[in-house]
Structure formats: C-alpha cells, structure tokens
Structure 1
Amino acid sequence: MNIDELAIEVEGLRLRYGATDVLHDVSFRVHRGEVLALLGPNGAGKTSTIEILEGFRMRSAGRVDVLGTDPARGTEQWRARMGIVLQSWRDHPKWRVRELLAFQGSLYEPYSTESIRRPWEVDDLLAAVGLTEQADRPIKVLSGGQRRRLDVAIGLVGRPELIFLDEPTTGLDPKARRDFHELVRRIRDEYETTVLITTHDLDEAEKLADRIVILAAGRIVADGASADLTRQIAGHDEVRWVEGDEHLVREVPDSTAFARELFARGGAEIRELEIRRATLEDAYLALVRNSESAAVESVAVMPEPNGASR
C-alpha cells in the first residue's frame, strides 16, 4: 500500500525502563480515515504507545511514522495536524466554553497553510460536538458528559487529520457514553478525521472501531476487524444437554452441526439442550489471560546476573 494512504505506521516498537520491557516488538498500521481501537487491560502499554506516537515519549527501538514524520523529530507544524484528548482533563473554571475554544483556535492560526487546515469557527465546532446551548456557560457548571465533549472540541479545534482519544469515556454514565460514541462516528464520517482510540472496554471497541488491535503485557496479540477476530480467535461453543440421566457438556467448533448429530443419534433421549456461542469477549479475555501468564512465566525463568534462577 502507498505510504500516503497510511496515517500511522509502527514497526518493531519497543519501550524499556531500566531492565524492564514495557512494549515488545509492537507493529501495526492505521489507514487514513480509519477508526482504530487499541484495546487492552490497564497496564497493557496502551498509553505508552500513543504517547510515543504523539511525540511525548521517546521509544527505545523500532520505527514510527505518524503523518509522514518520525514523532521524535516532530515540529510544531506537524503537531498542529493532530488533536489529542487525554484520559483526564485540566479544569479551566474561570473560562466560558466559547472563550476557551476561541483561545485554543487562535493558537493554531499561525500554522494554517494549504496543507494544514484552518481552525474551526467556534460556532461550527460547538454545533459539531453538541455544545451550542452551553456556549456561554462557565466550564465548571458542565456535566461530565458535556465536559468530555468539550475535551473533544479542544482536540478538534485545529481541524486535525488525526485525533488520539485516550480512554475517552472513563467515568461517563451510559447516556453520555452513547452520545460520545455517536460523536466519534461523526468525527470520522463527516470530518474525514483518522481516529486512534485506546480503551479497555471491548464493547466500546466493537461499537466504534473499523479495526481492533489487542495489546496485552506490552505485546500485540490480535489485529483485525471485530467480526474477523471473532472468527479467528473466539474458540469453541459450549453445548450442554441431558441424555437419559446424564448431564453432559461439550466444547465444539460448530454447535449447530453438533446439535444436529446429537438429535440424529439420541432422538427423544436428548433434553434441556443449551448452546453458548463463543464471543469476542471470551476470546479477548482468554488472550489477555494467556499473554499475562506467559509474561509472568518469562520473568520467573529469567536468569539472575550470577546465573541463578528466580
């Protein structure tokens, strides 16, 4: 694929603190206009990965290209092409919503060129994120969901080509989460923005992402669309039934075919048939468990400097 069609390309990324590897040979791509979810449990390395992509953390090894630039050498003009929404916000209680966005937009004006978009008009941006009615309110009176929409507005104010959303719905109630998900879809569909979202919520990743990259213990353990990942890694269905006086359980790759064979063989003797189909959640939890167990075992057998084992 032509490199111009990629927003992010990561190959062999590694991050080490002292003798501890936080990221191990991480490689993935994000295509322009795509929503990619970097999914994994707390401590998997998601935030470290995007901090490297944003240019805020230095990598130990590997190659990283974001919008055609190595983040370690990114200029202010390069940064102006990106938007960032952090896990938590810094309150600006004395600002009103419109005032803060107008100020933030003014910071991007010096970098506007033919290749770097001009910042949003404030009223248009307020409408885009659903904050028109809150435009003249102090930020301190906004609800949690409204405050998160403002965070996204700040990330979008420079009309970025690429936006990073780091655990964006943590702490939101169900309605606010649903509204936020709709906003992310609009960012992609209407404003042609590439989105990289980190989350530990599988349901959120399935709803939002064109593709999911699963990170566990600092390693990528799966990469693909939700439906593809389910087919590739979801494992076997569980079938439960009663035959005669026996309660039986079997894990099978194709529960429909197994049920047909079961009834053809047992007929009226088969009762209380239950099928639990494998889900992406099952696969995700199994992958995370296995990866974390492997990481623990790796540390356990690592030789000490004097040749002894732990």
Structure 2
Amino acid sequence: MIETHELTRHFKDVRAVDGIDLRVAEGELVALLGPNGAGKSTTLRMLTTLIPPTSGTARVAGFDVTRQQRQVRQHIGYIGQGNGAAHSQRGRDELISQGRAYGLTVRAARARAAELIDSLGLGEVADRTVSTLSGGQRRRLDIAMGLIHAPRLLFLDEPSTGLDPQNRANLQEHIVALRREHGTTILLTTHYLDEADSLAERVIVVDHGRIVADDTPDRLKAVHAGDRVVLTLATGADADRAAALSARVPAATVTRGGRTLHIAVPGAPALVPGLLADLRADGVTVAAVEVSRPTLDDVFLNLTGRSLREGAPVAADLDLVGA
C-alpha cells in the first residue's frame, strides 16, 4: 500500500525528510513515532499529495504521489491534526458534502453518511452544528469524513491530540474496529506511547528525517531498551559500590543520578534476587528497589539520547557506567 525510496523533503537549508525508505503492506496498522520536528507529519503530507517530494519516489495504493495525485487521493483517507468540518455546518451535511466531493451520488453519500454515523456512535449528535460538539465527537466526525469514500488506506496524524482519556480510549476502540471489520490499512503518528504500543503491530521510529528503527513494539523494547531496575541506595558510598557491582552484570547499562541507579538489562526480574544478595554481601544498603518493563520512550531514548515524548536531551550531569 505504501512504498518509498530515498524520499526527501527540504525546506531551504532544512532536511525535514532525509531519504526515507518505507514499505507498508495491505492491512497493516503501523505507527510512525518521533519527537516534534522529526519529519513524521512532513512524510504524511508527501504521501497524501499535499506537498511534493524534493527527491526520491513514493507510491501509495499503487499510484505515484507526484504523477498520479488524483488516483492517490481517491484511494486514501487523511485525518490531520486539526478539525476538518466547518463549525457552522451540521455533521451529517458535512459528511454528505464530503461524499459528493469524492463523486458519490446524493443517495450513495446519504447512505454512506448514515452508515458511518451509526458505526462511530454519532447518531445523537449528527444533526447538530459542529461547533456544539465535544472534542471527542468532532474527532469521530473527522474520522467519518476520512472514511466516507471507503478508502483502502487511512492516514491518522496524531488523532488523539487534545482528547481526554475517555475519548482517547473510545477513539482507539473505533480504530481497532475499523481495521477488524474493513481490513483498512492504517498509518498513524502519535505522541501517546501507550497508543502506539497497544494499537500498532509495527512501529517505525524517525529522527532527523530518517528511519532509525522499524520492528514490532515487543522486539524494539527487547533489543533497544531491555528491562529496567531502579535502585535507591542509602548513601553516596553505597551508590558508588552498587554502580561498580551492577556494571559487571552482563549486557547491563547503568545510569546514575545521585543515590539512584537505573539499570537497563534483559531479564531483570530473574536477575534482581542475585544482584540484591551480592549487594548485601558487599555491605551495600539498598533503601528501595523497583523493576519495570521497558517502554517505547526507553527505546527512543536509547536510540537517540532524547525523549520521544519531549524531544529533550538527556541531562548532562548523568554518569553512564558500563555504556
């Protein structure tokens, strides 16, 4: 459904997208992750024909994005970060108008609008003006507008931004149902890591306009992050001895901040009892211990040295032991 080769987009001296090779198969649900400015939205805008590439090639639904823009647009749905419906119009009317713009007859557009209103739970609000709808209702209306022509491929650019947790959960359920019931291929960008982890079968991490990782969420976490143990030591001297001892653990990376050690290591739950026994035998007093599974933010931090959520650099005063 999507295939790119050395796709680039430059804005004056800025390489927003710098040679992306991307392949998405029919029926996949893929999350595109990265900090602000990584090139995610620019990539989506090229794939949806909103802006032309500077160089490289891209085919979407079998059509070239520069030479066959009309055909591409006929086969895709695109839900951007802003609301697409006019605030003074009724939701149902907006859906019918969108269907007509895609060439549906009036009867077909009305029937399709009614179908989407029912499936997305908009029945009670469809005949109200858009300005009176809640954020979650508007977002579901945006999705309905993107689906009015039954596209084979749906682009979702940060669909949950600005929604409260309940509406986020509802929207995620609709996305899962959409793929299950219609086999729609979905490419989404998001800053909500739990959303990408729970929805996507494949995660692509982008930084500085290039793909730096591409795999399933579980494999990315296993390969690029590992489990994490947080030790809080009683004194600075205890922290010194604990850091030296922890660094001897195979495949462990130890990050120290004051009296706290963050130890990234595969299979942490099984290693902790032995590590604590060794620390006690060495006279080290452990005040607290916590074991956690890695997150996709840990993956991005390990790959780029920045937080996926904020794009912030790692604190300069952290000591890296065994890195």
Give the alignment's TM-score, normalised by structure 1. 0.81
SS at match of 2:63: coil
Aligned residue in 1 for 2:39: 45
Q: Does 1:285 align with 2:301?
A: yes
One-letter code aligned to 1:35:
L
Secondary structure at 1:136 match in 2: coil
Gaps of 5+ in 2: 247-262, 314-323
1:255 and 2:263 correspond: no
SS of the aligned residue for 1:72 comes to coil
Report if aligned partners of 2:224, 2:302 keep a CA contact under 8 Å in 1. Answer: no
| Deviation sequence 1:121-173 (CA, Å, 0-9, x none) | 22111011110111211111111110111000000000000011111111111
- Aligned-pair Cα RMSD in Å: 2.8
Cα drift, residue 205 of structure 1: 1.0
| Residue aligning to 1:230 | 221
Identify the residue that residue 289 of structure 2 maps to in structure 1: 274
Residue number in structure 2 paired with 1:176: 167
Q: Which moved more, 1:11-20 or 1:257-266?
A: 257-266
Report if aligned partners of 1:91, 1:140 keep a CA contact under 8 Å in 2: no
Note if contact 2:85-2:142 (Cα within 8 Å) is conserved in structure 1: no
The equivalent of 1:84 in structure 2 is 78
CA distance in 2, matches of 1:89, 1:239: 42
> Distance in 1 between the 2:140 and 2:86 partners?
14
SS in structure 1 of the partner of residue 81 of structure 2:
coil
Which residue identity is paired with 2:291? R
Instruction: Give the superposition deviation at 1:290.
Output: 5.7
In structure 2, what is the equivalent of residue 94 of structure 1?
88
Structure 2 CA distance for partners of 1:110 and 1:157, relative to 1, 3 Å: closer
**Alignment-derived partner of residue 319 in structure 2:** none
Q: Is the 8 A contact 2:85 2:91 kept in 1?
A: no
**Alignment CA distance shift 1:78-1:242 (3 Å):** closer
For the structure 1 residues 20 and 242, does the alpha-carbon distance in structure 2 shift closer, same or farther, using more than 3 Å as the test?
Answer: closer
Please state how far the C-alpha of 1:241 moved relative to its aligned partner.
6.9
Compute the displacement of 1:49 (Å).
0.2
Contact 1:23-1:45 within 8 A present in 2 as well: yes
Q: TM-score, normalised by structure 2?
A: 0.78
Name the count of aligned residue pairs.
Answer: 282
Give runs of aligned pairs for residues 6-21 of structure 1, distance below 5 A. 7-21=1-15
Partner residue of 1:61? 55
After the TM superposition, which of the residue ranges 228-237 and 204-213 deviates more from structure 2?
Answer: 228-237
Secondary structure of residue in 2 paired with 1:261? helix
For residues 15 and 233 of structure 2, the distance between their equivalents in structure 1, rounded to whole angstroms, comes to: 50
1:1-310 matches, within 5 Å, as: 7-109=1-103, 121-235=112-226, 237-238=228-229, 240=231, 246-247=238-239, 248-249=242-243, 250=246, 251=263, 252-262=265-275, 274-277=289-292, 279-280=294-295, 281-289=297-305
* Paired AA for residue 287 in structure 1: L
Deviations 1:9-54 (A, max 9, x none): 1222122223332212211211111111111111111111011111
Are the counterparts in 2 of residues 234 and 278 from structure 1 also a CA contact under 8 Å? no
Structure 2 counterpart of 1:225, which letter?
T
Residue 170 of structure 2 aligns with an amino acid whose one-letter code is D
Contact 1:39-1:201 at 8 Å conserved across structures: no
% identical equivalent positions: 37
Counterparts in 2 of 1:293 and 1:200: CA distance versus 1, 3 Å: closer
Using the alignment, how far apart are the partners of 1:96 and 1:236 within structure 2?
50
Q: 1:139 to 1:259 in 2, by over 3 A?
A: closer
CA contact (8 A) 1:237 1:254 kept: no
Change (3 A) 1:21 1:243: closer
Q: Which residue of 1 aligns with 2:256?
A: none
> How far apart are residue 261 of structure 1 and its match?
3.2
